[in-house]
């Protein structure tokens, strides 16, 4: 961010709630937390009172991602759209569903769209791409405050979910009984209430994760320095909020926002990106606070693994204060760095179906059986073991396949402990002439795993060879080739 920027960024894995990164600016050096330069008031420091100096330090020390509330603006339209789809109030592509004349009359107030030129007739997808306020005010009226608040509660917007991350501040909403037509209109497009960035990214992560709300966490595991035992922090799924079908529709529309809407600056070459921009204006009388520009991005669209939220406070209005133009490029830059780092393939790369679903087997030795199950489960493996002791105290001494092996998700990993180290020998079956699925099924029945070379045809070679005795869990390499006869 530029030196004068004030903002925050959160990167989250929506599938398990892990906060992969969190940053705010201005930041400070823990070794020198009282550096005057970081406050931005060094030139007038000697003229400030003690209270003013304390306030300046507290602003720098504040973790804006969890402890500063803000109006999310149009990024919140994702939630309004998800509620409407889940309640079957609207469909994504019904032509003429909404009308924008440039403003919308609500009681005595004429609430304007962000763009002077009317958007005209729109469906929901187009309204989200255009970030059209009148369309979402109309949608909010159809949904009603009772239904909206029911989903806000289900999404954790009234709670301090992830409160172990840092001292959070809870959201500020109108009381339900005080929500009139004007309040309903502004809530529908993300203004006149306040939430934390952590609350927003947690809610959006729920919507793009097949509708499952996962508690955010920053600690993945705890290692005992004396014993070497590693305790994995369990994922906490709180509840199912929307259906997988709604989740898929929202992600598809978010991709349209980046491809053809206000989120074009968030595109990353080679990756499927979805997103939504947000620009919230200050309350009347508080104009000095300035606009808040934000952008929330997701990738990949299918099986989303990364959600990024960028929030910029009072951006330089001489350039642009619109979220898509200001925060969108920041989100794109982060995605361009994070996606390759996490090993996420670019769309259309020449990899087989099995390679797309294959991962490296992690090392779970020296971990408790319970922790090993959690880790392997997160990688997509099935865990096999036979112990009579407590899973929370029994320590894994060996595994098969070994760590570092490249194995497709859904494969079996066998665990052994000092008390239960009974190995079984398996006779490798004959696979020649079988299709890939037939070979996979036969190996599965014989407690063996598979690695494939080739994409189509039947098995023409295998290693280990048929009838050879191997340990359960062994990976059998097969070669596929099309029959040219």
Question: pLDDT tens, 134-180?
Answer: 999 999 999 999 999 999 999 999 988 876 676 667 899 999 999 99
Instruction: Determine the average pLDDT of the residues in 12-31.
Output: 91
Place of tokens 């204006």: 281
- pLDDT at residue number 362: 85
| Bond prior to 66 in cis (omega within 30° of 0) | no
Domain with CATH 3.40.710.10 in the chain: 66-219+238-341
- pLDDT at residue number 2: 40
Residues in Cβ contact with 327 at an 8 Å cutoff, skipping those fewer than 6 apart: 7, 277, 278, 293, 294, 295, 310, 311, 312
Instruction: Determine the average pLDDT of the residues in 65-91.
Output: 96
Instruction: Quickly state the pLDDT bin for 3 (edges 50, 70, 90).
Output: very low
Cα(14)–Cα(11) distance, integer angstroms: 9
CB atoms within 10 A of CB 201: 26
Residues in Cβ contact with 33 at an 8 Å cutoff, skipping those fewer than 6 apart: 57, 61
The closest alpha carbon to 455, from 441, 443, 473, 437, belongs to 437
Distance of CA 118 to the CA centre of its chain: 33
Q: What is the pLDDT of residues 376-394, one digit of tens each?
A: 988 889 999 988 888 888 8
- pLDDT at residue number 351: 47
Domain with CATH 3.30.10.20 in the chain: 350-423, 425-485
Task: Decide if 266 contacts 109 (C-beta within 8 A).
Answer: no
Residues in Cβ contact with 438 at an 8 Å cutoff, skipping those fewer than 6 apart: none
Asked whether the predicted pLDDT for residue 408 surpasses 50, the reply is: yes
Q: What is the pLDDT of residues 212-238, one digit of tens each?
A: 999 999 988 787 877 777 777 788 999
- pLDDT at residue number 360: 80
Instruction: Quickly state the pLDDT bin for 278 (edges 50, 70, 90).
Output: very high
Q: In 236-391, which ranges are continuous DSSP H helix?
A: 244-260, 323-326, 328-341, 353-356, 369-378
3-state secondary structure 344-360: CCCCCCCCCHHHHCEEE
The closest alpha carbon to 296, from 212, 205, 210, 216, belongs to 205
Asked whether the predicted pLDDT for residue 104 surpasses 90, the reply is: yes
Q: Cα dist. 184→71, 148, 163, 482 in Å? A: 15, 9, 28, 62
Asked whether the predicted pLDDT for residue 13 surpasses 60, the reply is: yes
Task: Decide if 169 contacts 69 (C-beta within 8 A).
Answer: yes
- pLDDT at residue number 350: 44
Q: Cα dist. 195→67, 152, 157, 168, 286 in Å? A: 9, 11, 7, 10, 18
Cα(97)–Cα(122) distance, integer angstroms: 6
Third-level CATH fold of 425-485: Trypsin Inhibitor V; Chain A (3.30.10)
Identify the CATH assignment for 350-423 out of 3.30.10.20, 3.40.50.2300, 3.90.420.10, 3.40.50.720: 3.30.10.20
Asked whether the predicted pLDDT for residue 127 surpasses 80, the reply is: yes
Sign of CA dihedral 170, 338, 14, 222: negative
- pLDDT at residue number 230: 74
What percent of the chain clears pLDDT 90, i.e. is strictly above it? 64
Instruction: Determine the average pLDDT of the residues in 329-341.
Output: 94
- pLDDT at residue number 19: 95
Place of tokens 């490249």: 406
The domain at 66-219+238-341 falls in which architecture?
3-Layer(aba) Sandwich (3.40)
The closest alpha carbon to 382, from 390, 392, 372, belongs to 372
Cα(58)–Cα(224) distance, integer angstroms: 34
């Amino acid at each position: 961010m530029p030196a004068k920027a004030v903002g925050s960024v959160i990167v989250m894995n929506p599938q398990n709630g892990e906060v992969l990164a969190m940053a705010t600016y201005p930041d400070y050096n823990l070794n020198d937390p009282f550096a005057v330069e970081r406050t931005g008031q060094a030139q007038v420091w000697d003229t400030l009172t003690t209270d003013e100096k304390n306030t300046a330090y507290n602003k720098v020390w504040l973790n804006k991602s969890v402890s500063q509330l803000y109006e999310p603006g149009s990024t919140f339209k994702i939630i309004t759209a998800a509620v409407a789809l889940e309640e079957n109030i609207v469909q994504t592509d019904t032509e003429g569903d909404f009308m924008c004349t440039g403003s919308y009359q609500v009681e005595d107030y004429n609430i304007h769209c962000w763009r002077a030129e009317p958007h005209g007739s729109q469906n929901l997808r187009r309204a989200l791409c255009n970030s059209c306020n009148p369309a979402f005010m109309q949608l909010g009226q159809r949904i009603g405050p009772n239904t909206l608040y029911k989903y806000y509660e289900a999404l954790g917007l009234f709670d301090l979910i992830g409160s172990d991350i840092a001292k959070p501040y809870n959201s500020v909403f109108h009381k339900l009984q005080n929500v009139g037509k004007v309040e309903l209109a502004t809530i529908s497009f993300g203004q006149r209430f306040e939430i934390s960035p952590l609350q927003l990214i947690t809610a959006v992560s729920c919507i793009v994760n097949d509708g499952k709300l996962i508690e955010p966490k920053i600690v993945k595991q705890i290692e005992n320095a004396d014993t070497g035992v590693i305790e994995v922090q369990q994922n906490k799924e709180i509840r199912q909020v929307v259906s997988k079908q709604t989740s898929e529709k929202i992600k598809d529309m978010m991709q349209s926002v980046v491809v053809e809407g206000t989120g074009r600056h968030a595109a990353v070459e080679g990756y499927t990106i979805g997103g939504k921009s947000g620009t919230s204006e200050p309350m009347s009388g508080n104009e000095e606070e300035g606009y808040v520009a934000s952008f929330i991005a997701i990738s990949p669209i299918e099986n989303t693994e990364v959600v990024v939220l960028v929030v910029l406070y009072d951006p330089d209005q001489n350039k642009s204060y619109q979220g898509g133009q200001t925060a969108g490029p920041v989100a794109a830059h982060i995605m361009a760095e994070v996606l390759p780092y996490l090993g996420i393939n670019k769309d259309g790369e020449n990899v087989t179906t099995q390679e797309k679903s294959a991962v490296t087997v992690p090392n779970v030795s020296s971990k408790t059986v319970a922790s090993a199950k959690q880790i392997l489960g997160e990688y997509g493996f099935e865990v096999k073991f036979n112990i009579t002791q407590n899973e929370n105290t029994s320590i894994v001494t060996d595994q098969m396949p070994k760590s570092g092996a490249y194995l497709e998700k859904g494969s079996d990993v066998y665990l052994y402990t000092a008390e239960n180290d009974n190995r079984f020998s398996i006779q490798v079956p004959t696979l020649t002439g079988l299709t890939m699925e037939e070979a996979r099924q036969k190996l599965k029945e014989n407690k063996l795993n598979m690695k494939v070379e080739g994409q189509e045809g039947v098995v023409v070679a295998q290693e280990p060879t048929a009838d050879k005795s191997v340990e359960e869990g062994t990976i059998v390499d097969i070669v596929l080739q099309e029959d040219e006869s």
